[in-house]
A and B are shown apart, each in its own frame.
Chain A
Amino acid sequence: MQLKFYNYTIGIYSVVLLMSLVLFYGLPKEGLLDPTLDQGSFAEKEVYDDAAMMWDLDLLEGIHPDKEWRFQYEGNHLKIVSADNGTPQIVVKRTAAHTGEIRAAEYRKATFIAELLNPFQLSLSGNMLSVWEPGRCELKFKAFDKDFTANQFGEKSVQHQERLIREMDFVQELYLYVPDDVEIDYDPDSVFLKIKDSK
């Protein structure tokens, strides 16, 4: 009786393992998360770093506007405030004077993380532009390390951390385009503003 139980246990386990093997090699190879990290992406990082230093990320090809706002504005004084407890980071670019329009754009990098993020929110009331941060975004991923035995003669395991850091850089940026003649007022303790003059 006991021997029968042992044989059944071993038999069932073997069948499950073998079925799992067949199932695994039948899985479609597409669809899983596969960010590439090659020499090209290292060069790309330099391009992004340089553009960020010049506050010109909005001019890069790999960055696209995810959301845009256009406000008619005839005033000559704009107050930018944080509408929540966060400290939004905004790049302000000066545009030609007397256009009567303030434009805003949320740019996102073309990466898998960008699709999973919440958007910024903006509203203009009088001369006050309120900015809501996207809020904390928690993403939980799963990854495999190479098995110790399978890796005895192989290469180092892929470092997912390094890939993610690269993907997260400049993934979501808010740009404001404000006419040159509009004076900007903000509290540096609640809004982190980088203003780039049109000259």
Chain B
Amino acid sequence: MSLAEVSLWAVIKKQYIFKIKSYSNLYVSMVAVQLIAFLFTAGGMAGTSGIGYNNIYIEVKMCSGTGVFIFTVLWIMANSFILTLPLCRNIDFSFVTNRISSNMANIGFMATAAIAGGITTALATILLRNVFYYTTESKFLFAANFWVEPGELLTGAGVAIMYLLLFSAAGYLAGALMQLHRSLYVILPALLLGMFFYESANEHIRIFKALDFFFLEKSPLLFTFKIAVAVLLLWVCAMGLSNRTEVR
């Protein structure tokens, strides 16, 4: 038994810094994931359309930074899930710790990852535009949607950070849920995949349409509020669940 009193915040801070340093490989994986998305996107992942008129055929290869964003979402969900695995959880016990400090440090780490992911996603879309600019003859590249005003770039980064926070919290909750019983490792992904297939087979049923609650929100304030409430709920649920897992 230790007689030294350590404040909760001091422990959280120590754990957070430790996670930032020891999980730097996760940021390298982010770079790799974004570069892969970049290559796919540069190849015209957003689609190609063609139209013809008499003897003229026009093909337009579409491009968008959305692919980089989607790959970053997958990256942060996977990493948030990894944080709940026993291997990562047990590292926390090298410190004087409890579930709250461990979870709070994880939340801090996920928030940092979301900020890094959001900013790099926004900047990667600019890099993509530069690549297109220098590899395409200017008379074959449309100006519309190409130029990004600084305000638009900041909005893009901000929105990306909010979504990454949301999906990281969802990944963290899913991870915490799976720690309750091993069978959930199979059941949860199966449920998710099943919903995808079910939805695609039944056009009138739109389970994932629920995400429009966030996607279609046009007011910045309401959007921030919705995301903040959802993220808090997901984190509280994940923390509640993690308290039910066995102690080491």
Given contacts A146-B145, A158-B145, contact A3 B24 (CB under 8 A): yes
Which of A6, A144, A158, A169 neighbours the largest number of chain B CB atoms within 10 Å of its CB? Answer: A144
Interface-facing stretch out of A42-50, A69-77, A98-106, A159-167: A159-167
**Once the chains bind, are B64 and A146 in contact (CB under 8 Å)?**
yes
Among residues 84 to 142 in chain A, which have CB atoms less than 8 Å away from a CB atom of chain B?
86, 89, 112-113, 115-117, 133-142
Complex Cα–Cα for A9 and B153 (A)? 24
| B interface, size bucket | 35 or more
Identify whether the interface residues of B are mostly helix, strand, loop, or mixed.
helix
Q: How far is the CA of A86 from the CA of B129 in the complex (A)?
A: 40
Which of B7-15, B55-63, B94-102, B188-196 lies on the face that meets chain A? B55-63
CB-based contact B28/A139 at 8 Å: no
- The reply on A51 being an interface residue by CB < 8 A is no
User: Which partner residue on chain B sits nearest A148 by CB separation?
Assistant: B66
Contacting residues of chain B (8-30) with chain A, CB-CB under 8 angstroms:
24-25, 27-28
Chain A residue at smallest Cβ distance from B154: A150
CA distance A13 to B34 in the complex (A): 10
Decide if A147 touches B66 in the complex (CB within 8 Å): yes
Contact A147 B69 (CB under 8 A): yes
- Structural contact, A136 and B146, CB atoms closer than 8 A: no
Given A17-B127, A18-B123, check contact A31 B159 (CB 8 Å). no
Query: B24 touching A150 by the CB < 8 A rule?
Result: no
A147-179 near B? 1/0 per residue, CB < 8 Å: 111101110011011011100110110000000
Bound state CA distance, A180 and B156, in angstroms? 65
CB pair B56 A171 closer than 8 Å: yes
